């Protein structure tokens, strides 16, 4: 049976001052058969089928210590059951059987990121409602801000707001709806790595937007922000570091953390190694958040096959956030969500595909195609 939790980190968590999220010790999300929390200090589940997390040193430049940053206290990530993802997974689970059904039922209780990819979830108060619901449980929402102009530069996930001014207003509204509550934000997947694909004028404008977004979110002392920095096979680490420096130079508070491997299939081990190279080239340590949603079997995906490939599998995660850990892992890409009309799915980008989810848990052959 496929198991989705990663093993306990080797070091014990250091005591921290109480902050939003510190009440999550009793949360249910981190106490399942295949999950662990940061408090007990004991492994609560075994890892099999290649899902054991790597044990390489945490990526940071030698001799450097991680700086102080804005972040919530330790706590369980919040699984927002009003997200349609959980309904979709439940429906596929109910029509499955055996180990596939058990795997899907486990996924129904594991936290996944909330993508804020339009203005609707801001305008209708969805973000504020999610933050409030998580806070009432003593848990932490994980948001992905994904609405920058010229998003995905015309590819499958094209979109975003129409102007720089609209984006600045949008990110301000997102920040205000989070407020002083504990939260984790992944900022604009692919936006930094796409800078070389833009004209000089467009790239400069985007750098300014990313820098402003970092500063806007920094107003929230209990929000940990990770600027997305692509993946280990897209841009070489020196180029990624140079792109980060461009944002750093325009940001009042600088870059405190980066996310990597969002919606990709590269192993955690290789991603950690890449993160270390990026930090060495950048010249200072950074906090790192890795997307392990689809890298459970990195050898099973053909090299260069990035769009709904055969062989992708759910990876291993923690269900908790620890502000003192240099590297965290989570489900950032929504499981079962299509990359576009390509590969084994013909659903548009961002749309749920039950067959794709079954592929990810290794049970696609057990259930007839829709």
> Binding site annotation covers 333?
yes
Q: Is 190 a catalytic residue?
A: yes
CA distance 184 to 222: 8
For 333-349, b/e burial (b = at least 16 CB within 10 A) is bbbbbbbbebbbbebeb
Token output for 289: 């958040």
Determine which one of 228, 318, 322, 339 is catalytic.
339
Task: Specify which residues 185 forms β-bridges with.
Answer: 143, 225
170 is in an annotated binding site: no
**The one catalytic residue among 103, 152, 190, 228:** 190
Residue 121 is assigned to a ligand binding site: no
Check whether 264 is labelled as a binding-site residue.
yes
| Annotated binding residue 70 | no
For residues 147 and 160, the answer to whether their CB atoms sit within 8 Å is: yes
| Tokens 């990313």 -> residue | 210
> Which residues contribute to the annotated binding site for substrate?
115, 234, 264, 306, 333
Enumerate the active-site residues: 190, 339
> Which residues contribute to the annotated binding site?
115, 234, 264, 306, 333
């Amino acid at each position: 049976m496929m198991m989705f939790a990663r093993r306990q980190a080797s070091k014990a968590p250091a005591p921290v001052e109480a902050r939003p999220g510190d009440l999550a010790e009793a949360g249910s999300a981190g106490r399942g058969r295949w999950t662990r929390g940061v408090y007990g200090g004991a492994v609560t589940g075994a890892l099999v089928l290649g899902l054991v997390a790597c044990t390489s040193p945490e990526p940071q430049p030698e001799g450097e210590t991680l700086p102080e940053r804005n972040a919530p206290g330790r706590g369980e990530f919040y699984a927002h059951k009003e997200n349609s993802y959980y309904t979709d997974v439940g429906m596929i689970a109910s029509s499955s059987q055996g180990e596939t059904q058990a795997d899907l039922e486990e996924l129904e209780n594991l936290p996944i990121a909330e993508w804020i990819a339009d203005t609707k979830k801001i305008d209708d108060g969805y973000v504020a409602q999610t933050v409030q619901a998580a806070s009432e449980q003593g848990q932490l929402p994980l948001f992905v801000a994904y609405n920058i102009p010229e998003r995905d530069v015309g590819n499958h996930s094209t979109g975003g707001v129409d102007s720089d001014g609209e984006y600045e207003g949008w990110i301000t509204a997102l920040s205000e709806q989070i407020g002083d509550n504990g939260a984790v934000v992944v900022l604009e997947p692919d936006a930094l790595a796409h800078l070389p694909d833009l004209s000089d004028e467009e790239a400069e404008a985007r750098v300014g937007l990313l820098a402003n977004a970092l500063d806007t979110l920094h107003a929230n002392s209990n929000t940990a922000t990770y600027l997305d920095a692509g993946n280990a096979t897209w841009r070489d680490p020196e180029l990624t570091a140079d792109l980060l420096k461009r944002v750093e130079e325009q940001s009042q508070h600088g870059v405190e953390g980066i996310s990597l491997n969002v919606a990709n299939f590269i192993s955690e081990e290789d991603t950690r190694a890449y993160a270390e190279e990026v930090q060495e080239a950048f010249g200072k340590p950074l906090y790192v958040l890795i997307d392990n949603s689809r890298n459970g079997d990195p050898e099973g995906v053909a090299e260069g096959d990035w769009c709904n490939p055969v062989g992708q599998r759910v990876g291993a995660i923690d269900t908790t956030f620890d502000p003192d850990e240099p590297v965290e892992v989570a489900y950032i890409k929504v499981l079962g969500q299509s990359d576009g009309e390509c590969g084994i799915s013909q659903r548009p980008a961002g749309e749920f595909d039950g067959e794709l989810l079954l592929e990810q848990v290794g049970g696609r052959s057990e259930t007839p195609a829709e």
